Structure 1
Amino acid sequence: MTAAPSAQAIFDAHTARFGAATGDIAASFTRDDPVYRAAKEACLRLGFIESDAEVLAQAWQARSARLGFDAAAWPEDPIDFGIQPWPRDNAFAPCPKALGLYAVLPDAAWVGRMARAGVPTVQLRFKSNDPRAVEREVRAAIDAVAGTSSLLFINDHWQVAIDAGAYGVHLGQEDIDEADLGAIRTAGLRLGLSTHGYAEMLRVDALSPSYIAMGAVFPTTLKDMPTAPQGPARLAAYARLLRDYPLVAIGGIDLGKLPDVLPSGVGSVAVVRALVAAESPEAEVERFKQVLQNC
């Protein structure tokens, strides 16, 4: 996993982003500002990691400079985070704003099974160091969704996804610097990116992906997370900040937790074990879809 950016790097990047967003090239931040200092300390006490506390403190300082001091108001306006307005010249191909139930699956057989069960969005997360096995599985997954309405994203294997003509690619934070994002954009593939807090959200927002995944919402044992579980409250705050994007909630979500997640406003919920480990995956798909439709 790539190292987290330093607080100074975040500070410098946010200063530049805020100036660009507001058109004020003189926009600047200072760590001597009392709003910044109080917000940074408060966010650390609330359990935010250093990089996220840094982003929030600067956003709070920007909001205070823009509107006047209001300690009770959590920063949620994109302009205070330096988020650029849409449309954007560097945007990736769009995907539906509501991706619905999003199944993350281990192989092409599972992709085909869930596509035929009516899952609207599926992701192939196939792990192998054998390039030929990867290519076979990616192409098999593309064939498996043919004739269905499912949208297929390929996790990690972006070059094979381009060559095979996949609908989209999903990358984690550790993959962003290694992938050729320009090639993905030029090929017209949709791009989804994973995030685990404010700093990573700002990082991927600068790339203007097709959708942003946010997690882990609840504890998960599937992979090591760089942050503690975010919880529904933080998820809702993230969703309000990134409201112009299609958003996917992921991490430890099952049918019982779905009512806690959907009020956040995300248009999609990604699940892994909730389907693969279910006694009857097809029946579980129907239960998920019914809850999603009624909320």
Structure 2
Amino acid sequence: MDSAEIQALAQALIHQHGAAFGAQLHHDANSVELTPQPVPPALRGEPAYLAALEACSALGFIAVDAETLAQAWQRQSERSNQFDVTHWPDEPRDFGLSGADPAQAFAHCPRNLGLYGVLPTAEWVGRMARAGVPTVQLRFKSDDKAAVAREIKAAVDAVKDTGAHLFINDHWQGALDAGAYGIHVGQEDLDVIGHRDLETIRTSGTRFGVSTHGYAEMVRAHAVQPSYIALGAVFPTTLKKMATAPQGLARLAAYVRLMKQYPLVAIGGISEDMFPAVRATGVGSVAVVRALVNAPDPEAAAKHLLERMQATA
């Protein structure tokens, strides 16, 4: 197949999926353009792979995600003996996600973690746990190790007798020391936490959640078989500087189809009015920050958001 024919395949992919994956995302007053990305160097020469690499770059996928998708398109084509431009890859084996050893997985957590409050202090953790929020995360930022340890212990104490599942962001050793239900880390933390430390967390039975921002990071997260995977940022957010553009609902739905073997949490700029659309993708949990901590009456806001979660179950 010559370059003109490969170009034609790439254009067919763009035409088929551009409306979903290349469109502008709208959320409240925010919008972000998923602009075309440079095509990364090709690592193989098959037509399906080359066409998908070009098309996915044109649809705004960053280089590592375009490469991951192109490899999946190639495997899908080999498996089905055809290049089906209509079927966006969503089969785990086409991404190398099959065949994991269950004995190496982290402890299980509920498939539907429900409303997930990401909160700045132990006081907030306690308030929202008592308000009925089923999953809470302490995201306490400090360079003072003693202060971090005190806050984690206070958060663990605060959720006792509430039934809430408490995850500690980043500070995995403090979480283990205090007996927290779980730990949540970002991709950058996987670079810091060594294999021996991961094994310590795994054998402790502590749940382990990992943030992801696209296909390559989901594949990487699967390699450690976490308890759950967070997908985001779904919409624009001002709370954290993101290396990738907001993913949008079409990408979120594709991620859910691919990673459905895990409990999944959608996070990033999700306001109450977007709950139905986010939940329609199949995620079992929606994480919120500002919708709780910036609310005039946080307990009332929690009650209302819990009702919205139930209504969209």
1:268 and 2:285 matched: yes
Match of 2:49 in 1: 36
Distance 2:98 2:46 in 1: 24
Q: 1:32 to 1:86 in 2, by over 3 A?
A: closer
Q: 1:157 aligns with which of 164, 168, 171?
A: 171
Find the aligned partners of 2:181 and 2:87 in 1 and give their Cα distance.
40
Q: Structure 1 stretches (4+) deviating beyond 3 angstroms?
A: none
> 2:220 maps to which residue?
203
Alignment partners' CA distance in 1, 2:278 and 2:100: 26
Q: Is it true that 1:231 corresponds to 2:245 in the alignment?
A: no
Task: Give unmatched runs, 5+ long, in structure 2.
Answer: 1-39
Question: Aligned residue for 1:212?
Answer: 229
Structure 1 length-normalised TM: 0.89
Q: Distance in 1 between matches of 2:168 and 2:231?
A: 18
- Is 1:127 the counterpart of 2:141? The answer is yes
- Whole-angstrom CA distance in 2 between matches of 1:86 and 1:172: 21
Residue among 294, 302, 308 paired with 1:285: 302
Work out the percentage of aligned pairs sharing the same amino acid: 62
Distance 1:185 1:119 in 2: 26
Residue number in structure 1 paired with 2:121: 107
Q: Which residue of 2 aligns with 1:25?
A: none
TM-score between the two structures when normalised by the length of structure 2: 0.84
- When the two chains are superposed, the root-mean-square deviation of aligned CA atoms in Å is 1.3
Show the counterpart of 1:88.
102
Residues 116-154 of structure 1: CA deviation (Å, up to 9, x unaligned)? 000000000000000000000000000000010100000
Report SS of the residue matched to 1:92: coil
1:144 aligns with 2:158: yes
Query: Which residue is 1:60 aligned to?
Result: 73
CA offsets, 1:154-175, max 9 Å, x none? 0000001111111000000111
SS at match of 1:110: helix
- 1:45 maps onto 2:21 in alignment: no
Matched with 2:20 is none
Task: Show the counterpart of 1:76.
Answer: 90
Q: Distance in 1 between matches of 2:117 and 2:289?
A: 6
SS in 2 for 1:243: coil
Aligned counterparts of 2:57 and 2:81: Cα–Cα separation in 1: 23
Deviation at 1:283, TM superposition (A): 1.1
| 1:257 partner SS | helix
Alpha-carbon deviation of 1:208? 0.2
User: 253, 261, 268: which one pairs with 1:251?
Assistant: 268
Shift of 1:85: 4.2
CA drift at 1:286: 1.4
Q: Secondary structure, in 3 states, of the residue corresponding to 1:103?
A: strand
1:177 alignment partner, SS class: helix
Tell me the SS of whatever aligns to 1:270.
strand
| 1:294 partner amino acid | A
Does residue 191 (structure 1) correspond to residue 205 (structure 2)? The answer is no
What is the alpha-carbon distance in structure 1 between the residues aligned to residue 103 and residue 65 of structure 2?
A: 27
Deviation of the 1:87 alpha carbon = 6.0
Distance 2:49 2:69 in 1: 9
- Picking from 186, 191, 216, the partner of 1:177 is 191
Deviates more, 1:209-218 or 1:71-80: 71-80
**Partners in 2 of 1:34 and 1:148 — Cα distance?**
56
Q: Which of residues 172, 177, 181 is equivalent to 1:167?
A: 181
